[in-house]
Amino acid sequence: MPRWTSLSGKARRRGHPPVEYGILVYVGRATALSVEEYLHTSFPDLDREYRDGEIVQRAWPDYLHGKTQGLLCAFFLTLGEQLSLHPCVETRMRVSPNRYLIPDVAVFHPGEPDAVPETPPLVAIEILSPDDRLGEVREKLEDYRTWGVPHVWLVDPRSRRFYTCDAGLTEASSLTVPELGIELTPNDLFKSFK
C-alpha cells in the first residue's frame, strides 16, 4: 500500500491559506522509507522526523513558538564566541542508527557538529506548540537523554514556564548550564512578550 503519492494543485492547512504544490504527499504515519531515502527527502512544509523506519510529522508551530525559538537561538548566539557555543534550529540529528530527531533548538560546545550531527549537543530544547501531544514530547525528550544530551529542556511559551528533563519532567525557575555559568529565567526570555 503506497504511503506517498504525487499530486499537484492547491492544499489548505487548518487556519492557513491555500498553497500551490507539485510534490510527494505523505499519507498516514508508517512508511517503508530507508534512512538513506529519508536523508535525501525534502518535505513540502515542515521537516519530518524518522523513527525506526517511520516518517513522523511534527506539530505545526505558531508565532509564539517561532518567536521563542528565535529568542533562544539569539540568547546562545550572543554567548557563542565567548563560550564556544554553536546553536542551531530545526536540524536533523542522528540519535540512533534508525532514529533521526529534529530539536527546535540545539546548542553544541565546544566545536561545530557535522552536517547531520551524530554526537549529542550540550543542550536540546523543545518548544511546545498548540498541537503537541505531551506523551510524544516526553518520548522525544527521553530520546535526547538516552542519546547523552546533558541538558534537555522544554519551554512552554503560552504559560511562560520552563521544564528540565532528568528523571521525568520537572518545572524549573531557570534553565542552567552550570559548567559554563549560563542561566536563563522566564523573565529574561519572555520580557518582550505581551
Q: Where are the beta strands (DSSP E) in 82-167?
A: 86-89, 93-96, 99-101, 105-108, 123-127, 151-156, 161-166
The CA distance from 117 to 132, in Å, is 24
Q: What's residue 152's pLDDT?
A: 98
The separation between CA 121 and the C-alpha centre of its own chain, rounded to angstroms, equals 12
Q: The C-alpha cell of 173 is what?
A: 525557575
Q: What is the pLDDT of residue 31?
A: 44
Separation CA 13–CA 105 (nearest Å): 25
Predicted confidence at residue 127, as pLDDT, reads: 98
Looking at this protein, which amino acid is placed at residue 22?
A: G
Structural domains of the chain, with CATH: 4-56 (no CATH), 63-190 (3.90.1570.10)
Residues 6 or more apart whose Cβ sits within 8 Å of residue 31:
3, 4, 53, 54, 55
What confidence score (pLDDT) does residue 194 get? 79
CA 192 to chain centre: 22
Could you say which residues of the chain have pLDDT below 70? 1-32
Q: What is the pLDDT of residue 5?
A: 39
* pLDDT at residue 32, rounded to an integer: 67
Q: Hey, what's the cell of 50?
A: 524518522
